[in-house]
Amino acid sequence: MSALAALIRRDVRIALRVGGGALIGVLFFLTVTVLMPFAVGPDLALLSRLGPAILWLGALLASLLTLDRLFTADHEDGSLDLIVMSRTPLELACAAKALAHWLAAGLPLIIATPALGLLLNLDGAATFAVALTLLAGTPALTFTGMIGAALAVTMHRGGLLLAVLVLPLSIPVLIFGVAASQAAISGPLSFGTPFSILCALSLISFVIGPFAAAASLRHGLD
């Protein structure tokens, strides 16, 4: 356990230091959200209707932005070799890395959501609903994205390939995340149904993500 705690602490620490990815993700999220009202125009009703979708898209893209470094950074400097060789099961090490990535890059997005909700003309309840769905849904984005990050190591191609691989996997999360937010804001569907499915997607990704990523890393060793 202390090995996993050490891994999480190290990754969070690196992300928060200068040059780490945590702040970049939040700034990107802010930029996307601020640009939207300029593109959509000064229609407040339209803006608040699109608000949850814009916040979700922003969070999705922001978490993708730093995800491609999840394993490639460790691969390039040789840390990954030592992690694979260690007595900690690789699946658990992958899960710990994903958790650290979520803590450093996902959680700040949720904390920033209330401020950005103001820009999109969302009232307090609506902002809270979006933040809650992001809290339940962004772990799924990280844990499924981890599979793409591991494949990117195997294929020696980062960046764009990751987006192509990961974005289709995140469609269900996006659908139910936005559906739950809309339901909470305007109805007529109940909030509980899409929100439960969103939580289920996160739980599934906790199980599948680490195993798929570890299998991919083992296969791709060279």
Partner 1 sequence: MRLSGRNLKCVRGGREVFSGLEFSASSGEALAVTGPNGAGKTSLLRVVAGLLVPADGAVALEGGEAELSLSEQAHYLGHRDALKPALSVLENLSFWREFLGGRPEDAGQCLASVALDHAAHLPAAYLSAGQRRRLSIARLLSVRRPVWLLDEPTSALDAAGQDLFVRLMRDHLGGGGIIVAATHLPLGIETRNLRMEGAK
Contact set with partner 1 (CB under 8 A): 2-3, 5-7, 9-10, 13-14, 17-20, 76-79, 81-88, 221-222
CB 100 within 8 A of CB 8: yes
Nearer to partner 1, 79 or 196 (CB): 79
Quote the CA–CA distance of 36 and 117 in Å, as a whole number: 12
* DSSP code per residue over 120-140: TT--HHHHHHHHHHHHHHHHH
Nearer to partner 1, 38 or 222 (CB): 222
145 HSE (CA, 13 A, CB side): 34
Local structure of 17: helix, strand or coil: coil
Instruction: Retrieve residue 192's tokens.
Output: 């509980």
Q: How far is the CB of 31 from partner 1 (least distance, A)?
A: 24
Nearer to partner 1, 13 or 164 (CB): 13
Q: How far is the CB of 11 from partner 1 (least distance, A)?
A: 9
Instruction: Retrieve residue 47's tokens.
Output: 């803006």
Report the length, in residues, of the chain. Answer: 222
Q: How far is the CB of 220 from partner 1 (least distance, A)?
A: 11
Nearer to partner 1, 15 or 126 (CB): 15
Q: How far is the CB of 5 from partner 1 (least distance, A)?
A: 8
Phi, psi for residue 20 in degrees, rounded to 5: -75, 175
Nearer to partner 1, 13 or 193 (CB): 13
Q: How far is the CB of 115 from partner 1 (least distance, A)?
A: 27
